Every structure is written in C-alpha cells, then in structure tokens.
C-alpha cells in the first residue's frame, strides 16, 4: 500500500492533503523519514509515524449510505455546501467512497477503507453491475432504448452494452431501470442526452451484491457479515482471474539457445520477451 493511501485510509487526512504531508518530511516509516508519497508500506509490519504520533492501522469498515441529492461525494470540496462526511460520525472519516455519485444523483453509496473491495467494484475489467432507477422526460421509444442498450459514444468511446427495463411510460415521463457495469463521469445522464432525453431523477439502487432497499435519503448503516462476505467473494474471484492471466504469460530465459516450448511462436521469442499463450501477443523488447 502506498504511504499516501495508508495515511488517508487511517484518518490522518484526505488523500490530497496526505500528499503534501509526506512531501513535507513529517512522516517516518520504521524510524526513517520518507518524503515519497508512493513509498510502499506493509500495514501489518511497518511502523508509521506522522509528526511524532504513531498511526495505527484501522480495521476495515464498510458503510452503506443512501446519499441524498445536493450532497457531494468527496471528503473536501471548497464549493460544496455539504458532503457525505457531514452525514457520517467523525470517527468514520477514514473510509472513502467506492466510486462517485454526482451531486444531483442519490442512492446507494459504499464507503470503505478496504482497497481490494473498492478496486474490485470500480475497475471496469471486473464488470460489476450497477443498477439505477431513473425518471426521464417524455416517452422513451424502442429505437432510443435499443440505441442506449447497444452503446452510444461518449468522449469518442462507445459505452458497453447495458440493459434497460421500462417500468412505466406516459406522454410526459418514462420510468426505467438501467443496469450497466461502467462508471464514467455522469454516464447515465450523458447517455440519455445522446438520444435527446433529459433525466429528471436518478437513484442508484444496486451495486454488485448490495441493495439499497426502502431507506430514506441520508440513512446509513454498516454492512452485515453476509454482505461483506459477498464482496470478498468478488475480490477472490477476480484475484483468481488475474492469476490465470498471469500464468498464461511465459518468458524465454535470457541467453538460452533453445526454447523449452514446442510452439513456433514461443521459439521465436527473444531474450526477456514474453508471450500470452492464449492471444499469442508478444510483450517486451523487439
């Protein structure tokens, strides 16, 4: 874990402030002053001190919140009138939002200091689904629905396929459930704007195994043991997937005269080159 991240996750400061704190030379790791924010620390072994005070690693916490509208998903914003940290007790200031909901969107927001869980839920390669309830202006026609589901271009990049379920429809408004696994900035609103439809109300109701349920805006609670276990299962599955990809990449030993592999592609590898034996893509020096 990077030193900057360690400080922010254990309640010393925001991540941005931690960057300056480390650069100022006020942090020690095992008795040595470290001024590099990316310095790797092991919370289970290393002793970290900030301004002479030992920073004890905090246990993992998982908070599920129903974020209200007009509340900013950040720890510090000079332009925000209220942030999610104004809702939580101060002793939870070390947890960080997993992804963001824009100021106008309400609903399910997970906050945690578990970096593995945060990474698994937000990285697009893991394809963890998020479901939103949305009210959009006018009657959403079949052509627009299909266009959204198959993908529209945002910033020159096509969105991944999604699923839209129409709940109710009238001349003035359409209510939908939209499920996607990407998490681009204001993605749902911008997608509907591509079919000339304005989102009037947007609420995230599910993220992976977590469900918002019938709760009021501003309500929050810690996750149950079962919910935490479900998140850990996602982390473990993705860890196994990454290991499988890693195992599929092999290296020819530098300086070896002959390849140990029968594949012609592998025999052509130069020293220090690697190849993914599934895709046959070669990495490294050519």
233, 227 contact by CB (below 8 A): no
Q: Give the number of other CB atoms < 10 A from CB of residue 201.
A: 14
List the catalytic residue out of 102, 114, 141, 247. Answer: 102
State how far the Cα of 111 lies from the Cα of 85, in Å rounded to an integer. 10
Q: Give the number of other CB atoms < 10 A from CB of residue 241.
A: 12
183, 174 contact by CB (below 8 A): no
114, 228 contact by CB (below 8 A): no
56, 43 contact by CB (below 8 A): no
102 is an active site residue = yes
State how far the Cα of 116 lies from the Cα of 103, in Å rounded to an integer. 26
State how far the Cα of 73 lies from the Cα of 75, in Å rounded to an integer. 7
Which residues are paired to 246 by β-bridges? none
Kindly provide the b/e burial profile for residues 40-77, where b requires at least 16 CB atoms within 10 angstroms of the residue's own CB. ebeeeeeebebeeeebebeeebbbbbbbeeebbbbbee
Token duo for residue 226: 């079962």
Termini Cα distance of the chain: 33
Q: Residue 85, by phi and psi: left (phi above 0), alpha (psi -120 to 50) or beta? A: alpha
State how far the Cα of 91 lies from the Cα of 197, in Å rounded to an integer. 42
Which residues are annotated as catalytic? Answer: 102
């Amino acid at each position: 874990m990077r030193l900057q991240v360690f400080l922010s996750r254990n309640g010393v400061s925001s991540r941005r402030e931690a960057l300056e704190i480390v650069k100022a030379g006020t942090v020690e790791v095992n008795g040595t002053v470290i001024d590099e924010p990316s310095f790797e620390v092991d919370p289970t072994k290393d002793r970290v001190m900030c301004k002479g005070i030992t920073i004890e690693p905090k246990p993992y916490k998982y908070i599920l919140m129903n974020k209200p509208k007009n509340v900013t998903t950040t720890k510090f914003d000079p332009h925000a009138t209220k942030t999610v940290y104004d809702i939580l007790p101060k002793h939870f200031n070390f947890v960080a939002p997993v992804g963001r909901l824009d100021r106008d969107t309400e609903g399910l927001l997970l906050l945690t200091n578990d970096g593995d869980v945060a990474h698994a839920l937000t990285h697009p390669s893991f394809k963890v689904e998020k479901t939103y309830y949305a009210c959009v202006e006018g009657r959403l026609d079949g052509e627009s629905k299909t266009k959204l589901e198959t993908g529209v271009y945002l910033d020159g990049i096509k969105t991944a396929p999604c699923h839209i379920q129409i709940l109710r429809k009238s001349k003035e408004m359409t209510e939908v459930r939209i499920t996607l696994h990407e998490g681009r900035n204001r993605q749902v609103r911008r997608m509907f704007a591509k079919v000339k439809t304005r989102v009037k109300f947007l609420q995230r109701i599910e993220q992976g195994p977590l469900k918002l349920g019938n709760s009021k805006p501003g309500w929050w609670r810690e996750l149950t043991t079962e919910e935490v276990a479900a998140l850990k299962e996602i982390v473990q599955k993705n860890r196994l997937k990454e290991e499988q990809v890693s195992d599929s990449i092999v290296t020819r030993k530098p300086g070896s005269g002959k390849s140990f592999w029968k594949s012609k592609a592998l025999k052509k590898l130069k020293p220090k080159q690697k190849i993914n034996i599934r895709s046959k893509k070669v990495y490294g020096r050519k």
